[in-house]
Amino acid sequence: MTRRSAPLTTLAFLAAACLALGCRRDDDGDDPATPEPGDDRAVVEDGSDSVAAETDAQLLTASLVSSAPGTLGLASAPLEGGDLEARGLGDGARAIYFPRGCLDVVDDATAKTATYTFDRCLGPNGLRAVSGVVTASYRVEADRLHLELRASGFSVNRATVDWTATAEITAGGADRTMSWRAELSGATARGRAFRRTNEHTIGWKLGEPCIRLDGTSEGEVGERRIRTQLENLRRCRRACPDPGGRIIVTDLATDARYELRYDGTNQATFIGPRGNEVAVPLACAQ
């Protein structure tokens, strides 16, 4: 089919879809007008905006299990034999959130619970305006770290999110993999109420500013029930997503399906429910 330049109705979807990969909109810019129910743009915006809020919760959790000294669950020294440890909680997390003092950490070693209180923090992987309390109960089992997380009244990147989640983090050399299951609710950055469940896998390598995302989310956004699938999405900081990744948004009431495919360049292919393909520009560097 013929590919053409992106119409304005797909640009908002592209910007929102980029959120799931760490590419943030300029906070000084105005949001597009709220779409009418049933509008194609409304479906893709709702799907991608809710994924952005969900992914922010996952990225925040990943930041607490990084390799910096004192972060949640991993040893301060390089891991040997894939071992995971939980020691020196707090200092490493404080070091990667700004301004200094915006994050307070209280560790109850007896209960194996850490409480993180954020106050308008700026963090890694595009996390901005982070405020609220996250409680993480943890235990180490052989080569994996098990986390039970809870957040209430949490705000990040203009969305507000409550969540309960289970995360299993495994280590193999410098590679980290987090299996995440969660129930989330709140409001997207555009103010749309949502209630979702998701199962995702997040991967990263120590020392590299890259993330990989796979998985499915499903639930209500406003009055619409939407499924959103992330497949083989990998991005390194401001670089363009790796080729082969895609985002699929499905309106479960109508079975209408919308897809965004990445090819490693600063353009992606948007595929509408009738199979029409549209070339869309990406705010990323090749």
CB 237 within 8 A of CB 10: no
Q: Over range 169-181, report the average pLDDT.
A: 86
Per-residue pLDDT, 86: 43
Per-residue pLDDT, 3: 40
How does pLDDT run across 93-125, given as a tens digit for each residue?
778 899 999 999 888 878 888 889 999 999 887
Nearest-angstrom CA–CA distance, 36 and 42:
7
Residue 115: strand pairing partners: 106, 135
Question: Which 3-state string (H, E, C) describes 171-216?
Answer: EECCEEEEEEEEEEEEECCCCCEEEEEEEEEEEEECCCCEEEEEEE
pLDDT exceeds cutoff 80 at 285: no
pLDDT exceeds cutoff 60 at 65: yes
Percent of the chain with pLDDT over 70: 76
- C-alpha distance from residue 21 to each of 44, 158, 240 (Å): 16, 16, 9
Q: Over range 166-174, report the average pLDDT.
A: 85
Nearest-angstrom CA–CA distance, 60 and 62:
5
One-letter identity of residue 34: T
Nearest-angstrom CA–CA distance, 65 and 261:
30
Q: Which of the two residues, 190 and 48, has the higher pLDDT score?
A: 190
Question: Which 3-state string (H, E, C) describes the chain?
Answer: CCCEECCHHHHHHHHHHHHCCCCCCCCCCCCCCCCCCCCHHHHHHHHHHHHHHHHHHHHHHHHCCCCCCCCCCCCCCCCCCCCCCCCCCCHHHHHCCECCCCEEEEEECCCCEEEEEEEEEECCCCCCCEEEEEEEEEEEECCEEEEEEEEEEEEECCEEEEEEEEEEEEEECCEEEEEEEEEEEEECCCCCEEEEEEEEEEEEECCCCEEEEEEEEEEEECCEEEEEEEEEEEEECCECCCCCCEEEEEECCCCEEEEEEECCCCEEEEECCCCCEEEEECCCEC
Nearest-angstrom CA–CA distance, 51 and 45:
10
Mean of the per-residue pLDDT values for the chain? 77
pLDDT exceeds cutoff 70 at 6: no
Q: Considering only 160-164, 183-187, 268-272, 280-284, which range has the smallest mean pLDDT?
A: 280-284
How does pLDDT run across 203-228, given as a tens digit for each residue?
988 777 788 999 999 999 998 999 99
Nearest-angstrom CA–CA distance, 94 and 50:
27
Is pTM, for the whole model, over 0.85?
Answer: no
Looking up tokens 């990998």, which residue turns up? 234
Q: Which of the two residues, 65 and 131, has the higher pLDDT score?
A: 131
| 198: confidence class by pLDDT, cuts 50, 70, 90 | very high
Per-residue pLDDT, 67: 54
Per-residue pLDDT, 90: 57
pLDDT exceeds cutoff 70 at 57: yes
* Whole-angstrom Cα Rg for the chain: 19
How does pLDDT run across 15-53, given as a tens digit for each residue?
334 434 434 343 434 443 333 334 677 787 788 788 888
Burial track 194-206 (b if 16+ CB lie within 10 A, e otherwise): bebebebebebee
